[in-house]
Structure 1
Amino acid sequence: MLLAILLPGLSMMINGHFLKGILCFILQITLIGWIPAAIWGVASRSQDLAEQRHRETLEIMRAGR
């Protein structure tokens, strides 16, 4: 999470969202744009974690059948 706040563009690129990461980095270059970029980075990371939990839950449910 700290990486998503301090370097949101890099955080998005590490998670496989290359185009979003580049756009976020461009937004982050300006001081005013850094705050929305940090929020976007945290939201993107949270969404990725939620999707991962969802996939794990589906795998457990399928294995139980």
Structure 2
Amino acid sequence: MLLAILLPGFSMMVNGHLLKGILCFVLQITLIGWIPAAIWGVASRSQDLAEKRHRETLEVLRARR
């Protein structure tokens, strides 16, 4: 999470969102754009974690059948 706040563009690239990461980095370059970029980075990271939990839950439910 700290990486998503300090370097949101890099955080997105690490999580496999290359184009989003580049766009976020461009936004991050400006001082005013840093805050929206950090919020976007944290939101993207949270969404990735939620999708991972969702996939794991579906796997458990399928294994029970």
Q: Give the structure-1-normalised TM-score.
A: 1.00
User: Which amino acid in the other structure matches residue 51 of structure 2?
Assistant: E
Q: Tell me how large the CA RMSD over aligned residues is.
A: 0.1
Pairing 1:1-65 to 2, within 5 Å after superposition: 1-65=1-65
Unmatched 5+ residue regions in structure 1?
none
Runs in 1 of length 4+ with deviation above 4 angstroms?
Answer: none
- Deviation (angstroms), 1:6: 0.1
Matching residue's letter, 2:35: I
* Secondary structure of 1:16's aligned partner: coil
What is the rounded CA distance, in whole Å, between the counterparts of 2:46 and 2:8 in structure 1? 12
Deviation sequence 1:18-64 (CA, Å, 0-9, x none): 00000000000000000000000000000000000000000000000
TM-score, normalised via structure 2 length: 1.00
Measured after TM superposition, the shift of residue 16 of structure 1 is 0.1
Identity of matched residues, %: 88
